[in-house]
Amino acid sequence: MRAMDGPTTRPRGGRRAALRFLAVVLIALPALTGCGAGPVDGAAVRDTDAVRRLLDGWAKALRDRDEGAYLAAVDPGERAYRDRRRQVFANLADVPLASWEYGAVRTGGSTPAPGDGHRVAAEAELRYRLAGYDAAPVSVPVRLTAVRRSGRWYVAGDDTASGDRQLWEQGRVTAVRGRHSLVLGAGREPAALRALSGLADAAVPAVAAAWPDDGRPGRLVVEMPASLERMGALLGAPPSDYRGIAAVTTTAGEKGGGGPVPAGRIVVNPEAYGALSTFGRRAVLTHEATHVATRARTTDTTPMWLSEGFADWVAYRTADRAPAAIAPELTRAVTAGRPPDRLPADADFRFTGGADRLARAYEGAWLACRMVAERWGERKLVAFYRAAGTGSVEKAAREVLGTGERELTAEWRGYVRKVLR
């Protein structure tokens, strides 16, 4: 979100950020050899069963906070990896885990190992749930190496080529529990995390007041890594993709089907977020909490001007600031005689299009939703959002607002000129 007192810090839309994140993860996990269809290999089946039992015991040791049993499952010949797992075990000490297990275990090609055994590559799903926040487990694909030595199986390594994808792999996690939020930070001062928790707690009722029916954010999980580079690692993307972006919402690890889902995750960029005033930080957290609340109603038919504009409308809904102060880039364009002639397209929200263009897209989207709320009422804006997620914008505008998309755009053009002149 672009704040008025700092750099461009607009967040990526929650739906599209999640899809990008999941795509990166899945692309990084090619199928293991020997895991496809074909004749069943008895040795491979035995390997898979053995690795599944190994991971079951490893997960139990972590749930029980039994460091000795946890490290006993790690190959004693891999000292560096044992040290890393010891640190990860310690990093998780403050994380309120309700569950932690490995499922969907598959094994692939094997290679010789010292002694009487061999190494095998394994894919699995780490499924964990945060106590009091996740209604369903988060699912994270992992790649591991298992080894059998003298008849006993051990975990011998994992895939770290793609970076530290979980916060506890980046450092000791500090957890701050708020009334509506859980803030997890690595490499951050507790005072900064407490302040973040306070703003996240305030965002939840603010969103509930604007989005009064199902899908309220309820409880938020906010993660703050130590740096922009660490944020990029969490999201599986180059840090440059998020430079100047204060926060993003992801729904990574969710399963489809309409059942219970994990709490929405908001990942904060400490550099861009830290450059904002309290007003800007509050707006960012409320914007992202709105994405969490509306995620079930946001689909491929929801244009980004509506999803991002609605989130900004909620963020600024009670702000006592003039539109020109919230939309400075668009104000400059209007003053210079270059008012927009169309609603922002999805392409206008790309980070590669330039900061000014991105800012104007968000500001124009915000003003479009503000106009609908003023002209037709807040309930109609909410209904319009919901309808746009089930069909075209044209159909939603006709059914809910009694006007067409062309007429809506024309009214918005006049509104922009009126409120920003």
Instruction: DSSP letter for 250, please.
Output: E
Sign of CA dihedral 131, 136, 220, 180: negative
Cβ atoms of 294 and 382 closer than 8 Å: no
| Percent over 90 (pLDDT), the chain | 71
**CA 26 – CA 162 distance, rounded (Å):** 11
Q: How far is C-alpha 159 from the geometric centre of its chain's CA atoms? A: 21
Closest by alpha carbon to 277, among 75, 98, 9? Answer: 9
Report the side by side order of strands in the sheet with 118-130. Answer: 97-112, 118-130, 138-149, 152-158
Does residue 294 carry a pLDDT above 60?
yes
Instruction: Read off the DSSP letter of residue 41.
Output: P
Neighbour count for residue 240 (Cβ, 10 Å): 12
Query: Which of 258 and 340 is assigned the larger pLDDT?
Result: 340
| Side chain identity at residue 140, one-letter code | V
Whether the predicted pLDDT of 213 surpasses 80: no
Q: Using pLDDT thresholds of 50, 70 and 90, give the confidence band for residue 260.
A: confident
pLDDT digits (tens, 9 = 90+) for 29-87: 233 333 333 344 677 788 899 999 999 999 999 999 999 999 999 999 999 999 999 99
Amino acid 336 reads A
* pLDDT tens-digit series, residues 141-181: 999 999 998 889 999 998 765 556 899 999 999 999 999 99
Distance of alpha carbon 264 from alpha carbon 250, whole angstroms: 7
Tell me the CB-side half-sphere exposure of residue 166, using CA atoms within 13 A. Answer: 20
Of residues 195, 311, 316, the one with CA closest to residue 264? 311
d(CA 84, CA 74): 10
Q: How many CA atoms does the CB half-sphere of 205 hold within 13 Å?
A: 6
C-beta of residue 222 within 8 angstroms of C-beta of residue 239: no
Q: Does 26 have pLDDT greater than 70?
A: no
Within 85-160, strands assigned E span: 97-112, 118-130, 138-149, 152-158
Query: Residue 405's pLDDT band (boundaries 50, 70, 90)?
Result: very high
- Please answer whether residues 261 and 251 qualify as being in contact, where contact means their C-beta atoms are separated by less than 8 angstroms: yes
Cα of first residue to Cα of last residue in the chain, in angstroms, is: 23
Rounded to 5°, the CA angle 407-413-418 comes to: 125
What is the pTM (predicted TM-score) of this model? 0.85
415 vs 239, residue with greater confidence? 415
Residue 389 sits at the vertex; the CA angle it makes with 367 and 355, to the nearest 5 degrees, is: 40
User: Under CATH, which architecture does the 29-161 domain have?
Assistant: Roll (3.10)
Tokens of 69: 């049993």
Question: Parallel, antiparallel, or unpaired: how do β-strands 265-268 and 220-224 relate?
Answer: parallel
**Dist. CA 294–CA 259, nearest whole Å:** 16
User: pLDDT at residue 230 above 50?
Assistant: yes
Using one digit for the tens of pLDDT, what is the confidence trace for 345-359? Answer: 999 998 766 788 999
Q: Would you list the domain boundaries of the chain? A: 1-27+163-298, 29-161, 301-421
Let me know: does 248 contact 17? Beta carbons within 8 Å: yes
pLDDT of residue 36: 38
Residues facing residue 184 across a β-bridge: 175, 223
Q: Give me the pLDDT at residue 42, please.
A: 74
Provide the pLDDT for residue 108.
78
**365 neighbors 287 (Cβ within 8 angstroms):** no
Say which CATH architecture domain 1-27+163-298 belongs to: 3-Layer(aba) Sandwich (3.40)
Residues paired with 177 in a beta bridge: 182
Mean pLDDT on 271-300: 95
